[in-house]
Amino acid sequence: MAELIAGMFNTSRYKRSQGKVARQVTLFSLAAIFAAGAWLMSERNSGGDATWQYLIPAVIAAVGFWVAYRIVNLPSFADFLISVEAEMNKVSWPSRGELYRASLVVIIVIFLLVSILFGYDLILDYLMKTFLGI
């Protein structure tokens, strides 16, 4: 907890050239969450005092952006994001054709399984109505 509190008031950037993409995506995701919360607060207080409708949500959004910026620069979290980006760079992504074929196989198998289960349901329904009168 002490590291988190000290990190919030530190102005340096930890390993600034490493893990840029993972940090940027995380920063903007967290900032979007805070901005959505501030917007929701502004909408809920519409028609009221302008301070509660505009000023307080703006302050919350600004503080939220600062917190998001500081979180992605905490050494422990930044090291995690750096390692995530390093692992993602090792992944061999499929080509567009491979992705299309694999998706088509999955969709066909799902429809086959649905058809089989539907057939089982019809047979079981017929047997229950015929022999048990249900």
Please spell the DSSP secondary structure of 51-114, one letter per residue: IIIIIHHHHHHHHHHHHHHHHTTSHHHHHHHHHHHHHHHH--PPPHHHHHHHHHHHHHHHHHHH
Q: Answer whether residue 15 shows pLDDT above 80.
A: no
Which pLDDT tens digit goes with each residue over 19-32? 778 888 998 999 99
pTM, two decimals, is 0.59
